Structures are given as structure tokens and as C-alpha cells.
Amino acid sequence: MKTRFLTGLLSLLMPAMVMAGEYDLTVDRVEIDTGDFVKEGIGYNGASPGPVMRFKEGETVRINVTNNLDEMTSIHWHGLILPFNQDGVPGISFPGIKPGETFTYEFPIQQAGTYWFHSHSGFQEPDGAYGAIVIEPEGREPFLYDREYVVQLTDKHPHSGDRIMRNLKMMPDYYNREQQTVGEFFSDVSENGLMNTVRDRMAWGDMRMMKADVEDVQGFTGLINGKGPDQNWTGLFEPGERIRLRFINSSAMTYFDIRIPGLDMTVVQADGNNVQPVSVDEFRIGVAETYDVIVRPKDEQAYTIFAESMGRSGYARATLAPEEGMEAAVPQLREAARLTMADMGGMPGMDHGSMAGMDHGNMDMDSSEDMSGMDHSSMEGMDHSNMDSMDHSNMEGMDHGSMTMGKEDKSDPFYAKGSGLMPKAANGGKFLSYADLKAQDPLYEDREPTREIELRLTGNMERYTWSINGVKYEDADPIRLKYGERVRFKFVNETMMTHPMHLHGMWSILDVGAGQWNPIKHTINVNPGTTVYMETEVDEPGQWAFHCHLSYHAAAGMFRKVIVEGGPDSTQAKTDAIAEDGGEV
């Protein structure tokens, strides 16, 4: 009777007891075959990408990471809400994992959706150290599907991350294969007139940049789930099924425009959070973002998943088909994208080389310098620029909201052509914009922010320096937030590049003008010459990273540490302990 009573009591208690899922990961040197080239890289459990890690909302996970490299490593759980000392950023949340050692991450799973993981040490991530995370919700999804696939994108380059960085420092357009030609000049003269064309070229020259400065790094092979276009990863389906595709952009530098000719896509999640469904023909996925879409192929035929780079310099390709071996036509790359003055907010007088009196310092770097030991979080030894001499007085009169600088002539034919960054869908249909994203269920109560923090995204393409508020990471003070406040961040992009800004540890509420229905994200894209707002509920104490997720921009200085002060006493004790153990920068 006593045994039966205890058994019954345990059965009643079991639903409330959440058992930990335990996982093992090794960090290894691996061979990566793209179909175009074979190179040595870094992977997990002997492969790149690493395994798809599947968690359940409400469980506690324990992940044993063994470092088989001859250098330090780390794993960051991108987009996961967890204790800061489990976030995996060397120099901020922990010291890192030494060669030959095993580090155990342990944290509760407080969310559901599609996320990913990657190294936060040096250039290990672009060298192959990444994988996918799928988290099942406690309850039912608000949408139906019959099967699902992870579609993990990356841009694999023949050169190592260290070599790419050295080349960019020596010659920022080293990897730009879309330079303007003499033929293009005469074509513009024919269409717009000689004087307009000459004036346009001079304006871009004054800014020390080119219309082709859409992508920093070209010459890559696009991969989907580790397979190049010729290797053709294939997901099978039965006609009539609803298929959930979990898109993850794990690229170092590449934005992809996604379409599946012949199929409508319904976006149901953005960055792991449910959104009100929106049907699109094409969408752009920024570096580090995730989008979940539902497709329903009704015919017994193959469909091409086509991921075209924003600069039209390369693509990734995969297939949905009823049977292995089936293929569909692969679209041709569209004409190479070109920046316009409209992309730059109508700033023909802006000098991006000097940034209106900003002295970026001497950026010379010995091409033989070995950056293999560089840690993104500390960037020690990387004296990319001296921002102390910036003359803020020369930037007076700048309207950071509209980014109007100098004379703006919207009658100019080159301005009137509009943005070169946001194309129409290839079939003339619906192209997703941030304004289309509305939260399915508000995560937080709608309340006024307690204060606003302006973050100007700054840089110099000629010298390949990237910074925030004109200051490189190692020279910057941390951003200090108070536990319990709601902060409004104002991103002002003063550069010619699009930057995916990622705040670790806390959600980013993107302001699209939808009030409480504003979407919840972990990565926010900020286009050239634009201002974007997001709000953050400061509900996770500790130390966090905040940076551009373009690998070589973060490494060159577009990075900050965020310190959340206050909160549970135990968290402050952990913060102090990490600082004593070498976690403090």
C-alpha cells in the first residue's frame, strides 16, 4: 500500500518536474566540400554545419562542449534568453573554452521557435562553426504544417576568415567583383546626359565609395544545409502537404533574397517569434535573422529554393521534390545591384572618407599580421583607428532622423531611380518588408520608454574601419542599463552598408508603427542613410554583447558591451566572479 501511494504521488508530481536534456558537442577541424572547392574549416561533431539541436520549451538543457582545437573556442546560443554567464561570449560572459577542455552550458529553455548557434571566437563562425536550433513549444502552434525542414544558409569563401580580414584591411574592395565599367559610364551618359553622369560620379568619389559597395565580400559559394548549388540539398514532400521551412542566415556577410518559383510563401515567424501570417513571393533575410514560412506544393513536381545575394554576386540553391533526384530550373542572377543617392538619404555632399572632419587615424596593418587568435569580444591588439580626434563640430546641422546632409536634389535622375537595395519581387509580386511584420501575441505590455539611447553606425570604407558613435570597441565605455527599465534605441546609419544589429540576452522590439503589435526580434537590419528605432525591456541582468553581425564589421570595431545593473543579487555575484576569472574586457 505504501509503495502504491508513493508511486501515485510521484505520478502526480512528474508533470511539474522538468528533466534536463543532455547533449554533447565536440569542436573539430573538418573538411568542407562546397562542390566548387574543398577547404579546411571548423565544425561540430565532425561536420559543418553542426547538428540540428532540438529542445523543448520548459526544459533545462545541459550541453557538454569539448574543444578539440589547438586554440580557444566558445559557443553562443543566438537569440536564446538565458543567464548571461551561459551566453558564450569570451571576455564578456565567460573566459572561453581552452584547447582540450570541456565546458558545460546549462540553462532553461524559455521560448520556442527557430534559432542557431555559432562560435564567438575569432573567425571560427565564418570558417564553419555554426549549427541550427529548433525549439518545440509547450502548447500548440497557431498554424498548421505536416512536415518541416531547416534551411540553413551560409556564404562559404575559399579564403579563411583571417585572410579575408587582412585583405580587406589592405584593400577594402579586394573582394568586389562588380566594379563599374567604362561601358556602364557610357550607358549612363546615353540615358541621363553627360553632365548628370559626371556629377553623379564625382559625388560618389567625394564619399570615397562606389555604387557597387553593396557587399564587402564576393566570390563565395552559397550553401544550404552545407551543400552548394551543384550538390543540391533536397527536401521531400507529398503533394498537398503544408511544409514548414525554417530559414536561418548563418552567413558571415551575405544578405539573401529568397524565392521559390511557383510557390507562395506564408511568413509565420520572424526570429523565432510568431507573427501574423503574411503571404509573400520573396523576402530578404539579413545576416543572423531567421524566418519560418509555410509552403503548400500541390503538384507532383520539383521546386527550386533560390537564395540570391543582395548584391547579385552569388546564390544558394536547394530543391523541394516528391522524389530524390528531381530538379527544377534554377533562375538566372538578376542584374548586379547598385547603390543610389536615394539609398544614401540624398547625401551628395557627404564625404564618407573623412566623415566631415572625423579623423579615423592611420589604418595601416601589416598584411602578415596573424589574426587567428583574435577574439571578437576583446579585439586586443587591433588598433584600427584613433577616434579621439573626431571633430563633432563639423557634424553640426546633421539631421540624424532624415540623414539629410548637404544639398539634396531629388530631381537628379540618379536620385529619382530610387533605392538599389530593395528590389521588387522577381515575379512582380509581394516582397516582404519590416512594415509587414506584426506580432501574433504581444510579449510585453505597451509602455513608454524610460529613456532613449542614440547609436550612430559609423565607419570608413577606405580604411575598413567600423564603429559606433565614431568610437571603436576597445576604446568605448560600456552601455549601462538599469534592470527593469525600458530603453528606446535609435540607430542612425551614417555608412553605405546595411548593418544587422544584434543585442544579446534581451528581445528587440522593432518599431514599425504597430504599437503593441510591433514584432519581437533579436536582429535588426539598418539600411544605409536610415534611422531605425527599437525598444528593449531590460529584464536580464549581467553583461551582454551588442554588435553588427557582419563578421568583419564586428571584428573591425562595430561592437559594444552592455552592462545591466541591478536585478537579483545572485546575478551581481556572478558578474563579479566572471570579472575576477578573466571575463572582464
Asked whether residue 116 falls in the same domain as residue 225, the answer is no
Examine the pLDDT at 76 and tell me if it is beyond 60: yes
Residue that wins the pLDDT comparison between 395 and 255: 255
Examine the pLDDT at 355 and tell me if it is beyond 50: no
> Model confidence at 575, in pLDDT bands (50, 70, 90)?
low
> Model confidence at 342, in pLDDT bands (50, 70, 90)?
low
pLDDT of the residue at 169:
83
Of 334, 358, 392, the residue at which a domain comes to its end is 334
> Model confidence at 237, in pLDDT bands (50, 70, 90)?
very high
Asked whether residue 149 falls in the same domain as residue 81, the answer is no
pLDDT of the residue at 395:
34
pLDDT of the residue at 563:
98
pLDDT of the residue at 338:
58
108 sits in which H/E element? strand 102-108
Of 279, 305, 334, the residue at which a domain comes to its end is 334
Q: What is the DSSP string of 224-255?
A: ETTB-TTT-EEEE--TT--EEEEEEE--SS--
Examine the pLDDT at 57 and tell me if it is beyond 50: yes
Which range has the worst mean pLDDT, 57-71, 82-96, 151-165, 354-368?
354-368
Please list, in sequence order, all residues whose beta carbon lies within 8 angstroms of the beta carbon of residue 240, skipping any fewer than 6 positions away.
296, 297, 298
Whole-structure pTM value: 0.80
pLDDT of the residue at 529:
86
pLDDT of the residue at 153:
98
Asked whether residue 134 falls in the same domain as residue 151, the answer is no
> Model confidence at 178, in pLDDT bands (50, 70, 90)?
low
Examine the pLDDT at 536 and tell me if it is beyond 60: yes
Domain carrying residue 318:
143-178+214-334
Asked whether residue 221 falls in the same domain as residue 122, the answer is no
Examine the pLDDT at 461 and tell me if it is beyond 50: yes
The closest of 368, 421, 412, 360 to 391, measured between CA atoms, is 360
Q: The domain that contains 449 carries what CATH number? A: 2.60.40.420
* Region 384-397 average pLDDT: 34
pLDDT of the residue at 404:
31
Q: For residue range 92-122, what is the model confidence (pLDDT) as tens digits? A: 999 999 999 999 999 999 999 999 999 999 9
Residue that wins the pLDDT comparison between 247 and 2: 247
pLDDT of the residue at 351:
32
Q: Compute, in degrees rounded to 10, the torsion defined by CA atoms 548, 552, 556, 561.
A: 30
Residue that wins the pLDDT comparison between 69 and 170: 69
Beta strand 542-548 with 38-44 is: unpaired
> How far is CA 16 from each of CA 9, 13, 59, 112, 536, rounded to the nearest angstrom?
12, 6, 11, 19, 31
Which range has the worst mean pLDDT, 386-390, 486-490, 542-546?
386-390
358 part of a folded domain: no
Indicate the angle between helix axes 194-206 and 182-192, nearest 10 degrees. 130
Asked whether residue 287 falls in the same domain as residue 154, the answer is yes
Asked whether residue 442 falls in the same domain as residue 538, the answer is yes
Our count of domains for the chain comes to 3
